[in-house]
Amino acid sequence: MIDQTYETLTQLGQPGEAPETPEAATLDCVPNPHADTPYLIRFAVPEFTSVCPVTSQPDFAHLVIDYVPDQLIVESKSLKLYMASFRNHPGFHEQCTLDVAQKIISAAAPIWLRIGGYWYPRGGIPLDIFYQTGTPPEGVWLPDQGVQPYRGRG
């Protein structure tokens, strides 16, 4: 029997297809089982893809999303499908990175969030985008995001 708390989930336990667009995607959230304890959740998305809105060429990034949940946590399957919705989505690196952050903030209302968008080079220039909602909560361990700066070959 499914717990009453999870009846509103739209994707977990269902066949999963990526939404047509990021705007059409839903991020499902579930109650935080440790809402009284500040802790960090990390999602790493090493194969994020979108499309350049000018050239229609694919863009690739490694996204690292860290957040301190409040009452809700993001259900990971819905996040995976949301990320896949960017594959044919035209958007500049800055837009895509911040759109991901804003979608999580809107869905889960975390206490704190940071995102690092480590984009692979296009035109010979790698571009990294960073955003956070404010000062991290005191006492929460914030590990380095672990993505090395782009070095090219060798």
Establish whether 59 is a catalytic residue: yes
Which residues 6+ apart lie within 8 Å of 128 measured at CB? 116, 117, 118, 119, 149
Amino acid at 90: P
Are 82 and 102 contacting, i.e. CB atoms less than 8 angstroms apart?
A: no
Strand runs labelled E in 77-124: 112-122
Structure tokens that stand for 69 in this block: 């949940």
Distance of CA 130 to the CA centre of its chain: 12
Can you say whether residue 68 is alpha, beta or left, with left for phi > 0 and alpha for psi between -120 and 50 degrees?
beta
Establish whether 52 is a catalytic residue: yes
Structure tokens that stand for 84 in this block: 């896949």
Catalytic residue, chosen from 52, 70, 99, 128, is 52
Catalytic residue, chosen from 29, 59, 66, 96, is 59
Nearest to 58, CA basis, from 128, 122, 145: 122
- Give the active site residues: 52, 59
